[in-house]
């Protein structure tokens, strides 16, 4: 009986867990970088750091991931606090998103500029002219072409003139240059007028009306103005 008691007393310390000391804590870090502090040894597949409660970082020790028996170098608590997290070197998610958006916008702007080609010039100078009757129209030259205004003719002594008698006075309408900010609108209106004349032209003047419409349209296409 004394022999069994002595044997049990000798085997009891070896039967207890190696880390049954309540003054010891275990810091466990899994493969995703998640840290857990517990009283029991870390599970397999995690990095384990052993530390006494209230002890300085110099007294900590670590074990390698998994069940490898080779011990890992000691890791201080300060190292855990300052170590960069996975993906930190690449910046936060928002920063990556912002830079991607900026690059995408720059690429889109470059493609739009390439499609549009070089900057086109402003349209040529154009004039707004006022007819004697009060109507207005746009003309490309400062001096509007002369027009013949029919004049009434009476015979000698106030008698009625023959029906074949006719006379006219050549007049020029007053014109003023259109401001540069309004040139696009003036040329666009000139194109609409040219389209109208082409649509209602008689067969004998249809080719001339079409040629004039194409000429005015080409002026707009070569400028910074849109073609209506």
Where does the pLDDT of residue 11 fall: very low under 50, low under 70, confident under 90, or very high at 90 and above?
very low
Of the two residues 8 and 218, the one the predictor is more confident about is 218
Asked if residue 93 belongs to a domain, the reply is no
Residue-wise pLDDT for 91-114, tens only, equals 444 444 455 665 676 666 656 555
Summarize the confidence of residues 179-187 as an average pLDDT: 95
Asked if residue 109 belongs to a domain, the reply is no
Q: What b-and-e string marks burial along 200-224, b requiring 16 or more CB atoms within 10 Å of the CB?
A: ebeeeeeeebeebbeebbebbeebe
Asked if residue 58 belongs to a domain, the reply is yes
Where does the pLDDT of residue 191 fall: very low under 50, low under 70, confident under 90, or very high at 90 and above?
very high
Asked if residue 92 belongs to a domain, the reply is no
Summarize the confidence of residues 224-228 as an average pLDDT: 93
Following DSSP, what letter does each residue of the chain receive, concatenated?
Answer: -HHHHHHHHHHHHHHS-TT--TTEEEEEE-TT--EEEESSPPPTTSEEEEEETT--GGG-EEE-STT--SEEPP--HHHHHHSPPTTGGG--HHHHHHHHHHHHHHHHHHHHHHHH-SPPPPPPP-EEEE-TTS-EEEESSSSPPPEEEEE--B-GGGPBPPTT--EEEEE--EEEEPPGGGHHHHHHHHHHHHHHHHHT--TTTHHHHHHHHHHHHHHHHTSSSPP-
pLDDT value of position 18: 46
Expressed as residue numbers, the domain containing 131 is: 127-142+176-221
pLDDT value of position 183: 95
pLDDT value of position 156: 55
Of 197, 196, 186, nearest to 219 by C-alpha is: 186
pLDDT value of position 180: 93
Boundary-marking domain end, from 46, 64, 82: 82
Residue-wise pLDDT for 46-94, tens only, equals 888 888 776 654 445 555 554 444 444 444 444 444 444 454 444 444 4
Question: CB atoms < 10 A from the CB of 183, how many?
Answer: 20
Where does the pLDDT of residue 171 fall: very low under 50, low under 70, confident under 90, or very high at 90 and above?
confident
Asked if residue 9 belongs to a domain, the reply is yes
Residue-wise pLDDT for 148-161, tens only, equals 877 766 655 555 55
Asked if residue 149 belongs to a domain, the reply is no
- Look over the chain and give the mean of its residue pLDDT values, rounded to a whole number: 72
- Whether 74 and 137 map to the same domain: the answer is no
Asked if residue 88 belongs to a domain, the reply is no
Overall number of domains in the chain: 2
- Whether 14 and 71 map to the same domain: the answer is yes
Question: CB atoms < 10 A from the CB of 198, how many?
Answer: 18
């Amino acid at each position: 009986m004394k022999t069994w008691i002595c044997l049990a007393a000798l085997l009891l310390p070896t039967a207890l867990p190696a880390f049954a000391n309540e003054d010891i804590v275990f810091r466990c870090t899994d493969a995703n970088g998640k840290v857990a502090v517990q009283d029991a040894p870390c599970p397999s597949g995690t990095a384990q750091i052993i530390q006494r409660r209230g002890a300085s970082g110099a007294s900590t020790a670590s074990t390698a991931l998994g069940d490898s028996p080779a011990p890992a170098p000691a890791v201080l608590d300060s190292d855990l606090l300052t170590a960069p997290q996975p993906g930190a070197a690449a910046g936060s998610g928002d920063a990556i998103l912002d830079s991607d958006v900026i690059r995408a916008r720059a690429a889109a702007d470059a493609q739009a500029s390439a499609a549009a080609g070089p900057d086109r010039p402003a349209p040529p100078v154009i004039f707004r002219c006022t007819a004697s009757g009060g109507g207005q129209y746009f003309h490309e030259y400062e001096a509007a072409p002369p027009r013949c205004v029919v004049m009434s003719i009476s015979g000698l002594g106030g008698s009625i003139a023959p029906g074949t008698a006719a006379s006219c006075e050549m007049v020029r309408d007053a014109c003023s240059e259109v401001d540069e900010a309004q040139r696009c609108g003036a040329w666009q209106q000139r194109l609409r007028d040219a389209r109208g004349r082409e649509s209602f032209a008689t067969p004998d003047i249809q080719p001339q009306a079409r040629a004039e419409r194409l000429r005015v349209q080409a002026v707009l296409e070569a400028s910074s103005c849109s073609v209506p």
